[in-house]
C-alpha cells in the first residue's frame, strides 16, 4: 500500500513517515510540505535519519494524491478540506486527524466523502477512541443523576480550546443521554453564572509546558465521583492510529468514517500497531 503524508517535515508527519517505512504492509509514496521549506527536494529517508527511500519531499499536492493509495493528514482545517477535495477528484483515500474543524467544515468533508473514502477523527489514538465508547455507555447508564465535567490539558503551543478530543467526548456524553450537544455544552464560566443545569456538559481547558494531551471525563454524583481518563505520553499513538486506519480503509465504500469505525472492526483488530 502506497501512503503519502501531508506535513511530512513536521513532528506528526515525521512520526507517521517512520511508521509507514517500518511497516511491512506500507510504503511511503510521497510527502509534502510548504513550498518555502528548505527540505523540499530532499530524500524523505535521509531527512528522517534513515536510509534513502528514493522519494523526495514535494510541495505539490496533486502529485501527492496521484502517487498514493492513501494520504495521511495532520494539518489545518483549510489544508484538510483541500486534501478532501483532491481525494474526491482522484478517488483516493484520506485519513485525517486534524482538529479544530467547525460544523460547516465537517459538512464539507461529508460532501467530499460521497466520492472518496475519508476517515476523520479529532483524535487518532486507539485508547482515546475506546474512551469515546466507554463514556457514551457510562453516560447512558447514569443518565442525569450525575453531573458531567470534562477537563483537558495540552502544551502551551496549542491554539484551540476546548480541544477537539474534549468536544468529541462531550458529544459522546450527549449521545449516550439522548441530548442535543449544542444545547447542553458549557464551554466557559465566568462571574455570577447561576446554578448548574442538570443536563449541562461543562468544559475546562488547561495549557502549559509540553503536555501532549490529557483528558478526563468526570461524572459527579451524590456521595461519589467517577473519573475516566486518558493521558498521552508519546505522539506516536496518533501516528499508529492513523496508519492502522489507512490499512483498514482498503476496499471500503465511499463515505465518511471515524476511528470508532476502525476500532470496532474485527479486521482492524487483527492488524498490528
106-128 pLDDT, tens per residue? 999 999 999 999 999 988 999 99
Q: What is the pLDDT of residue 235?
A: 84
Q: What is the pLDDT of residue 268?
A: 38
Q: What is the pLDDT of residue 263?
A: 87
Instruction: Report whether pLDDT(270) > 80.
Output: no
- Rounded Cα distance between 29 and 53, Å, is 9
Q: What is the pLDDT of residue 265?
A: 56
Residue 273 banded pLDDT, cuts 50, 70, 90:
very low
Query: Residue 63: helix, strand or coil by DSSP?
Result: helix
* Helix H or strand E segment including 138: helix 126-142
Sign of CA dihedral 252, 253, 259, 263: negative
* Residue whose C-alpha is closest to residue 147's, from 186, 96, 117: 186
- % of the chain at pLDDT higher than 90: 90
The pTM assigned to this predicted structure is 0.81
Instruction: Report whether pLDDT(269) > 90.
Output: no
* Residue whose C-alpha is closest to residue 247's, from 231, 263, 229: 263
Q: Which residues contact 263 (CB under 8 A, 6 or more apart)?
A: 126, 129, 130, 133, 269
| Domains assigned to the chain | 2-120+235-269 (3.40.50.720), 126-232 (3.30.360.10)
In the chain, how many H helices and how many E strands?
Answer: 11, 12
Q: What is the pLDDT of residue 262?
A: 93
Q: What is the pLDDT of residue 99?
A: 86
- Rounded Cα distance between 90 and 115, Å, is 9
- Rounded Cα distance between 227 and 134, Å, is 11
The cell for 273 is: 500497531
Kindly report, residue by residue over 225-242, the tens digit of the pLDDT.
999 999 999 889 999 999
- % of the chain at pLDDT higher than 70: 97
Kindly report, residue by residue over 8-49, the tens digit of the pLDDT.
999 899 999 999 999 999 999 999 999 999 999 999 999 999
**Cell 485508547 belongs to which residue?**
127
Quick one: average pLDDT of 129-146? 94
Q: What residues act catalytically?
A: 154, 158
Q: What is the pLDDT of residue 100?
A: 84
Quick one: average pLDDT of 145-163? 95
Residue 91 banded pLDDT, cuts 50, 70, 90:
very high
Q: Where are the beta strands (DSSP E) in 103-224?
A: 117-120, 147-154, 185-186, 201-207, 213-220
Amino acid at each position: 500500500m502506497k501512503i503519502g503524508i501531508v506535513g511530512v517535515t513536521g513532528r506528526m508527519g515525521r512520526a507517521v513517515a517512520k511508521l509507514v517505512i517500518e511497516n511491512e504492509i506500507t510504503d511511503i509514496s510521497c510527502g509534502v510540505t510548504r513550498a518555502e521549506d528548505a527540505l523540499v527536494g530532499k530524500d524523505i529517508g535521509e531527512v528522517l535519519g534513515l536510509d534513502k527511500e528514493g522519494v523526495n519531499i514535494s510541495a505539490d499536492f496533486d502529485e501527492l494524491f496521484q502517487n498514493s493509495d492513501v494520504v495521511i493528514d495532520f494539518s489545518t482545517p483549510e489544508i484538510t478540506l483541500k486534501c478532501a477535495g483532491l481525494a474526491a477528484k482522484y478517488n483516493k483515500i484520506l485519513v485525517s486527524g486534524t482538529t479544530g474543524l467547525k460544523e460547516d467544515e465537517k459538512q464539507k468533508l461529508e460532501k467530499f466523502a460521497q466520492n472518496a473514502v475519508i476517515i476523520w477523527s479529532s483524535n487518532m489514538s486507539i485508547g482515546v477512541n475506546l474512551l469515546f465508547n466507554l463514556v457514551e455507555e457510562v453516560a447512558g447508564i447514569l443518565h442525569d443523576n450525575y453531573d458531567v465535567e470534562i477537563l483537558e490539558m495540552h502544551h502551551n503551543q496549542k491554539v484551540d480550546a476546548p480541544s477537539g478530543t474534549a468536544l468529541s467526548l462531550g458529544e459522546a456524553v450527549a449521545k449516550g443521554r439522548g441530548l442535543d450537544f449544542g444545547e447542553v455544552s458549557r464551554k466557559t464560566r465566568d462571574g455570577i453564572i447561576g446554578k448548574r443545569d442538570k443536563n449541562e456538559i461543562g468544559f475546562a481547558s488547561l495549557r502549559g509546558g509540553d503536555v501532549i494531551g490529557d483528558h478526563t471525563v468526570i461524572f459527579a454524583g451524590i456521595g461519589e465521583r467517577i473519573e475516566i481518563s486518558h493521558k498521552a505520553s508519546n505522539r506516536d499513538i496518533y501516528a499508529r492510529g492513523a496508519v492502522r486506519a489507512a490499512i483498514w480503509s482498503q476496499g471500503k465504500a465511499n463515505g465518511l468514517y471515524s476511528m470508532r469505525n476502525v476500532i470496532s472492526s474485527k479486521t482492524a483488530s487483527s492488524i498490528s500497531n
